[in-house]
Structure 1
Amino acid sequence: MFKNYLKIAWRNLWKNKGYTAINIGGLALGMAVTLIIGLWIQDELTHNGYFKNNNRIAQVFQSQTFNQETSTGPAIPRPLEKALRDGYADNFKHLVMSSWNISRYLGYKEKSLSKTGNFMQREAPEMLELNILKGEKDGLRELNSVMLSESVAKALFGDEEPIGKTVEVNNQYDVMVTAVYEDIPFNNSFNDAEFLMPWDKLVATQEWMRNAIDHWGNNSFQMFVQIADNTTIEKVTATIKDVKKNLNEDTAEFNPQLFLFPMKDWYLRSSFENGKQVGGRIKYVWLFGIIGAFVLLLACINFMNLSTARSEKRAKEVGIRKSIGSQRNQLINQFLSESFLVVLFAFIIAVVIVLLSMNGFNDLSKKEISFPWGSGIFWLISVVFILLTALVAGSYPALYLSSFRPVDVLKGTFKAGKHAGLPRKILVVLQFTVSVAFIIGTIIVMQQINHAKNRPVGYDKEGLVQIPTFSEDFAGKYDLMRSEFLNSGAVIEMSASSSPTTQIWSNRGGFEWEGKPEGFQEDLAWTEVTPEYAKSLNLKIVEGRDFSREFASDSNAILINQTALKYMGLVDPIGKFLKDDDEEDPEPPLKIIGVVEDMITQSPYEPVKQGVYVFDKHGNSSFYNMRLNPNQSASQNMAIIESVFKEHFPNLPFQYDFVDDKYGEKFAAEERIGTLSGVFTALAILISCLGLFGLTSFVAEQRTKEIGVRKVLGATVFNVWNMLSKDFLKLVVISCFIAIPISYYVMNGWLQDYPYHVILEWWIFALAVIGALAITILTVSFQAIKAANANPVKSLRTE
């Protein structure tokens, strides 16, 4: 019986090739979008799935309150390690101190590579359950050891055996390779940990870290833990919550609250607002999940609309079948079989579309998704997906067509009814409501991105290059290198700084100044710079003066930004002092000599943070900042800079970043979301237009004789076009009136996540409405004009 259903379904589909092509094409597009979004969502939800104990691994976070505003982050003080090991060890299976992900030069023979990794305590490989390919899992046992990822070991040693080989780090010290581990996959934390070295080695080489052993106010470290088997993350959080507050009076005023932030939330739920977890990338998972569902729904609506629109053509077939004994359930099965066949063909085409677009989609979304050919779960879900889609798409047509009375049909008295087209109209309205909402959402997302991009940066990022200076080879050579680079003609100004131009690496408090309010808890972005910093960045001095090498007293001078001026409540800042409130070992007071224009160093969607620029008298720079010669091409300048660099640092790889590129990365996530939304919106509109095209074609065919009569009586092409188009335009207008308030509510809520955002204006919605109407007119006009231009003789000769 089922075979017979399929055979008849195939004949019906083949007989109506145009209708079949539109149905299968629309469904294939909808299913392809849903498949791609499904794979993207699966990749997002399985982030950190490489780590088997990801539900028991966490990072220690703390929340601190400054002037009634609570900030939350992973930075913790070093003494916390001893406090947790001594008093709370039973709560943890592993407790690991770690550096931030940092760059190091790794050298072997003539090779020198710049790689990123972590200095971590001995338990890290076991906690993360790294897949050790060579060597020992306890590879961080010895002080002078290093564990390398497979790709780094290959790059350094080629086909040589890496275990036991000596690697030079930053031309400063030697370590021995004790293990090679499998590269951590792309969609996981620590995937950029290309090497692991012992935490104690970093402590031994950094005096400031050794000095921080008892300093509770220095939140410059991070800690990862794996909780004990007999407890939960919530219980451990409740136990350690007030450890820092209870053990240190100096920081108790900030009400520090510790908690364990589980690994499963690191990627998708990493946003905090005033001490509360408020989501994160999970909103994009929901967003694209909803988009995928709606796009598939649009494709299903096309199927239902076209199937019910053809009801009169199939009425006689239903009448004959019923008159010779067909039961309604048999007819329903017949129509569902047609639906299943359409969906099956559409799914096959959708898979082909996904395979062809996978590389482009990965480039667009910055993913490494592959098609899951070998996943039994995927194919099981696909079968269920096909059956459900066939049921959703075919249920209404099956129930509708099988309800015809055979007597009325065969006597020729069957009429579809006054309101027979109402369901189709409702479905068209739903289609275009979704499409218009997508258009509005995409416009607002892109407008928000451009709004942030056009925000004044505060400095000239064009032609600005930064070179990392992490190696000891750079120590004490700043003046020499500045002279060399300036003399080369490729650089017109150069400075050094402790943080990159586009980030803040340090925050400090504990200062007093004239007029400071009682109980005020300051939090200042802290950057140490050489005197040429403002000149190299073209940073504008709005009050006072810049640093000068001519004034020896400038070694204890500072610049503040405009936000800091307001934040500190200073009226006449020049000449005022910032004094260290540490009574036991105070540093010399810092004199404010100038105010610089605000520059965006963090998120361009957030307010600029209050910042202090301090004269670097200790040589703590981490970057050279170079202003390129504008009279030469960038490639010429960089070639010259590289030759000078190699002359002085022949054993180090030449690394650099254009600051405008690094700044552009701040928009990467939003731009990807905006671009993907735009692509999915275009596909949603295309699917809706396919359905509209099919319906217009059917209506034109259904009213062929009426159009012929009208033309004989003098109707113009415009009259016929207007007759066929106005009903569809009315439906689209209704869709717009429904979509606008929904879009306003949703997008206004989305914009509230950004303190610096666009204002929703009427023209955005007007543009979407005009676009929807234009798309509708273009889609409908093709068939309408074709019908209007048809020879009326051909349509009336049978009358």
Structure 2
Amino acid sequence: MIKNYIKVTLRYFLKQKTFTVINIFGLTFGLVCFIFMAVWVWDEYSFDRFHENKDNVYQIFAEKDRSGESVIVPYASSSLVPLIKGEVPEVKTIARAFPAHAVFAKETMSVSEQGVYADSALLQIFSFPLKEGSLDNAFKETRSIVISTEMAEKYFPGQSALGEYIDIVQEEKQPYKITGVLKKIPYQSSLRFDFILPYQHFEDTQRPWWKSSNKYSFSNFNVHVFIETVPGIRRADIDKKLTAVLTRHSIAETDDALFAYPFVDVYLRNDFSAGRNASGRIVYLRLISAVAFIVLIIACINFINLYTVMASKRHKEVGLRKAVGAQRRQVTFQFLTGSVLVAVISMLLAITLIEMLMPFFNALTSKHIALPYSSPLFIIVLIAGSISIGFLAGIYPALLFSSFSLLSEKQKLNIGGGLTGLRKFLVVFQFTLSIAFIVFTSVVFNQIEFIHNSDLGIKTTQILRHVLHGIRGKQQLYKEELLSIPGIQSVSFTEQDPLNTMNKNKGVLWPGKPEDNNTFFNVIQVSQDFIETFEVGLVEGRAFDKVYSSKLNSLKQVILNEEAAKSLGLDQPMGTELTVWGNKALVVGIAKNYHHQPLTQRIEPVVILCNPEETWNAYISYDQAYTKEILDKVQRVYKKYEDQYPFDYTYIQSDYRSNYASLQTVGWLSSIFTMAAIFISALGLFGLSAFLMQQRTKETGVRKVLGANVASLLYLFSKDFLKLVIISIVIALPLAWIYTDNWLSDYAYHFELEPAPFVFAGIIAIVIALASVVFNTLKASMINPAKTLKEE
């Protein structure tokens, strides 16, 4: 029986080749888009979920000044770690981690690698098993190191690295013993490192002031801290105990707090700018998930529309089947067989196309996604999805036609003769979604352009950045030699990235500071040339004095941005003596506000402290005309002053744009799948109009015989479709305005929403509708009336 149903269905599909191809291709295209977006979302969601104890692993965050302008940072105090371990019984294991950067040397090879200083407990908390070595012996020696499989293959190809020695250059070159080799870290890990060095030795030798002997140590949130808890704890309970440890041991009275945040959520929810209710990548995941389902819905609507009108031409077949005794359930099953068959074919074609396009998709999204054919769940979802889509598409015509009596079959009932109520609703629905898509994509790219072209109040082009390393202490000589290179305009040194300051604190004091003033200041330590290098405008005062020496003067120099000057609450902040992190400093200038953080955040108070001794990065501003020559010449000077570390550099414009990599990815995905939604909608409308015109060929012939011209036919046959599109525009544009306006509100600085994207979306929808109807109307009007008026 089923074999017969399939044979009859295929025979009918071959008879209606054009509409069958449109139907299959439209659904295939929609499935391709949906699956691509679904696997991207699933890949993002799967990050950090491979750890065996993931449900009990947390990262400790610090919340500064809960009673005032609360600030949350992903760090805790190193000196609190042993206290937490001893005083919070719910904490089973605890580990610290701090970024490490070192040069590894072996024979003629010298390569800069990124890793972490960490307690050995880090490998107990997270599922990063050792390929060689044992965890018990990994960090027993002071100069021991655990390296990745990739590093082992790089430096010890074809042999075991365990027990071997490798030279590490930090402040000086020293041999370290390899006591462990990690298995390959999974791709879906947000924690990535090439090596692990013992944390305690790092703190003892390089950060002794972090220890508990320092009275400020408990309020100095400086390291990443991870904990594994006993199963079944309540987060609220452990948060209270963590904060109690901080309060109990702090020398000064504090309103700071600690809280544990599930590590599996940190990758997706790492933006705490609005408080503990974090956001971040999860916003984009929800957006792309919505887009995925909308594209699938549009494709299914097309499928239902076209399959319904195609099925309406099978009235003779239904009548014949009923005449020979077919029951209603048999007719229903016949129609469902056809729709499920189309859905299965579409799914198979979609999987084939996805495999062909996956390398391009991975390149676009910087992913390593592959369809999980080995997963039974994935196969079940594909099969169930195909059957469900086919069932939903076929159930309406199946139930409709199986209910007809033989008499009504003879009368044909004109089921496909026009735009029925359901069909009108479906056309309006899919065009409403497509129009909204067009608007949103336009807004996303307008915001990206706004970000890239915004006047940040600080120079971002033609500036080269590198870490100083061994050049520290010799900055002045290095700068003078760089300035002798033609095309180098200015050189400055900073302690951190001026475009992404990350040390908000209350360590700024001034005479008469009110007790209730809890303003957080972003402090950045720089050299004398900072203002000139980054072309920061001044409202009042002067730039840093080049010959001014803090060693000969009791005061350092400091420049405030406008927000910081306002926060002091003084009528005349110029000339005020401040205390910044214990340094006495004189305000010599007020700088115009500039964007020191991503545009999602408002400009905050910034204190620019001239303190060259505490700078770590070089910023080299150059003339664009010398771009090709600059790099080699700078590198040659660098090597004269630093022979241990390779010359690793970046351009700050690239660093700035990398802050918006997720937005850029969402923009591209939205644009691609918006075009897909438009194409699917256009394809469906084309197929629907073609089918309806095919049913009105006799009417067209009669009208031509009676003198109707092409223009009148175009008006007659297009007005119904245009009405539906205009209804879609009326519904879609207000909804799109509300959503995009709300989306833009997540950015403290964004472009002003204007009518242009909405007008553009409406025009596109009308053009698509007209193009579909005009083509099919012209095609029908060119047929000789003598042929169209023949009896069937």
How high is the TM-score relative to the length of structure 1?
0.94
- Who is 1:184 aligned against? 185
Residue 135 of structure 2 is aligned to residue 141 of structure 1:
no
For 2:631, the aligned partner's letter is M
Residue deviations 1:423-452 (CA, integer Å, cap 9, x gap): 111111111111111112212222222333
SS at 2:70's partner residue?
A: strand
Cα offset for 1:565? Answer: 1.4
- Who is 1:373 aligned against? 373
1:533–1:312 Cα change, 3 Å: closer
- Who is 1:791 aligned against? 784
C-alpha separation in 2, matches of 1:639 and 1:212: 46
- Who is 2:250 aligned against? 248
Instruction: Judge conservation of contact 2:315–2:409 (CA < 8 Å) in 1.
Output: yes
1:419–1:341 Cα change, 3 Å: closer
C-alpha separation in 2, matches of 1:236 and 1:458: 44
- Who is 1:583 aligned against? none
Instruction: Judge conservation of contact 2:95–2:227 (CA < 8 Å) in 1.
Output: yes
Cα offset for 1:232? Answer: 4.7
Cα offset for 1:643? Answer: 2.1
SS at 1:352's partner residue?
A: helix
Residue 530 of structure 2 is aligned to residue 529 of structure 1:
no
- Who is 1:132 aligned against? 130
Residue 482 of structure 2 is aligned to residue 481 of structure 1:
no
1:229–1:417 Cα change, 3 Å: closer
SS at 1:241's partner residue?
A: helix
| 1:267-306 paired onto structure 2 within 5 Å | 267-272=267-272, 274-306=274-306
SS at 2:218's partner residue?
A: coil
1:571–1:721 Cα change, 3 Å: same
SS at 2:694's partner residue?
A: helix
For 1:126, the aligned partner's letter is Q
SS at 2:625's partner residue?
A: coil
SS at 2:575's partner residue?
A: coil
Instruction: Judge conservation of contact 1:466–1:625 (CA < 8 Å) in 2.
Output: yes
C-alpha separation in 2, matches of 1:763 and 1:67: 44
Instruction: Judge conservation of contact 1:64–1:70 (CA < 8 Å) in 2.
Output: yes
For 1:421, the aligned partner's letter is T
Residue deviations 1:390-435 (CA, integer Å, cap 9, x gap): 111211121222222212223x463439997111111111111111
- Who is 2:602 aligned against? 607
SS at 1:196's partner residue?
A: strand
Mean Cα deviation higher: 762-771 or 120-129: 762-771
| 1:559-598 paired onto structure 2 within 5 Å | 559-579=559-579, 587-598=582-593
SS at 2:762's partner residue?
A: helix
> Residue 540 of structure 2: which of 540, 543, 556 is its match?
543
Cα offset for 1:490? Answer: 4.8
Residue deviations 1:481-524 (CA, integer Å, cap 9, x gap): 11222223352211111012332143332332245333211321
Cα offset for 1:477? Answer: 1.8
Cα offset for 1:589? Answer: 1.9
Mean Cα deviation higher: 785-794 or 477-486: 785-794
SS at 1:566's partner residue?
A: helix
Cα offset for 1:312? Answer: 4.1
> Residue 729 of structure 2: which of 736, 746, 749 is its match?
736
For 1:434, the aligned partner's letter is L
C-alpha separation in 2, matches of 1:184 and 1:209: 33
1:515–1:766 Cα change, 3 Å: farther
C-alpha separation in 2, matches of 1:160 and 1:532: 50
For 1:118, the aligned partner's letter is V
- Who is 2:718 aligned against? 725
1:327–1:246 Cα change, 3 Å: same
Cα offset for 1:273? Answer: 5.1
Cα offset for 1:379? Answer: 0.7
Residue 427 of structure 2 is aligned to residue 428 of structure 1:
yes
SS at 1:546's partner residue?
A: coil
- Who is 1:775 aligned against? 768
Cα offset for 1:727? Answer: 0.8
Cα offset for 1:556? Answer: 0.9
For 1:611, the aligned partner's letter is V
Residue 621 of structure 2 is aligned to residue 627 of structure 1:
yes
Aligned residues: 784
Residue 682 of structure 2 is aligned to residue 686 of structure 1:
no
Residue deviations 1:441-467 (CA, integer Å, cap 9, x gap): 212222222333333211221110001
Instruction: Judge conservation of contact 2:165–2:175 (CA < 8 Å) in 1.
Output: no
Residue 709 of structure 2 is aligned to residue 710 of structure 1:
no
C-alpha separation in 2, matches of 1:11 and 1:406: 23
1:771–1:102 Cα change, 3 Å: farther
Residue 649 of structure 2 is aligned to residue 656 of structure 1:
yes
- Who is 1:404 aligned against? 404
Residue 461 of structure 2 is aligned to residue 462 of structure 1:
yes
Residue deviations 1:591-623 (CA, integer Å, cap 9, x gap): 001122223221122212211111225x22221
- Who is 2:229 aligned against? 227
Residue deviations 1:355-388 (CA, integer Å, cap 9, x gap): 1221222222222211212222211111111111
- Who is 1:95 aligned against? 94
What percent of counterpart residues are identical? 29
Mean Cα deviation higher: 433-442 or 418-427: 418-427
Residue 439 of structure 2 is aligned to residue 440 of structure 1:
yes
1:162–1:620 Cα change, 3 Å: farther
1:66–1:277 Cα change, 3 Å: closer
C-alpha separation in 1, matches of 2:32 and 2:651: 38
SS at 1:542's partner residue?
A: strand
Which sections of structure 1, spanning at least 5 residues, go unmatched? Answer: 581-585
Instruction: Judge conservation of contact 2:90–2:233 (CA < 8 Å) in 1.
Output: yes
C-alpha separation in 2, matches of 1:413 and 1:453: 61
SS at 2:55's partner residue?
A: coil
For 1:605, the aligned partner's letter is T
SS at 2:147's partner residue?
A: strand
Which sections of structure 2, spanning at least 5 residues, go unmatched? Answer: none
1:129–1:67 Cα change, 3 Å: closer
Mean Cα deviation higher: 724-733 or 420-429: 420-429
Cα offset for 1:588? Answer: 4.4
C-alpha separation in 2, matches of 1:753 and 1:571: 34
Instruction: Judge conservation of contact 1:328–1:403 (CA < 8 Å) in 2.
Output: yes
SS at 1:93's partner residue?
A: strand
Mean Cα deviation higher: 696-705 or 437-446: 437-446
How high is the TM-score relative to the length of structure 2?
0.94
C-alpha separation in 2, matches of 1:243 and 1:593: 42
C-alpha separation in 2, matches of 1:312 and 1:55: 55
For 1:672, the aligned partner's letter is T
Residue 743 of structure 2 is aligned to residue 750 of structure 1:
yes
1:417–1:392 Cα change, 3 Å: closer
Cα offset for 1:29? Answer: 0.8
SS at 1:205's partner residue?
A: helix
C-alpha separation in 2, matches of 1:572 and 1:566: 10
Residue deviations 1:128-185 (CA, integer Å, cap 9, x gap): 1312112222422322111111112222333343222223132523322111112322
- Who is 1:517 aligned against? 514
Cα offset for 1:208? Answer: 5.2
Residue deviations 1:59-90 (CA, integer Å, cap 9, x gap): 111222377332222122233213212312x2
C-alpha separation in 2, matches of 1:407 and 1:207: 92
1:445–1:420 Cα change, 3 Å: closer
For 1:63, the aligned partner's letter is E
C-alpha separation in 2, matches of 1:527 and 1:32: 49
Instruction: Judge conservation of contact 1:57–1:225 (CA < 8 Å) in 2.
Output: yes
For 1:621, the aligned partner's letter is T
SS at 2:771's partner residue?
A: helix
Residue deviations 1:260-288 (CA, integer Å, cap 9, x gap): 11112112233335533143322322222
For 1:626, the aligned partner's letter is I
Mean Cα deviation higher: 595-604 or 15-24: 595-604
1:715–1:158 Cα change, 3 Å: same
SS at 1:609's partner residue?
A: coil
Instruction: Judge conservation of contact 2:23–2:307 (CA < 8 Å) in 1.
Output: no
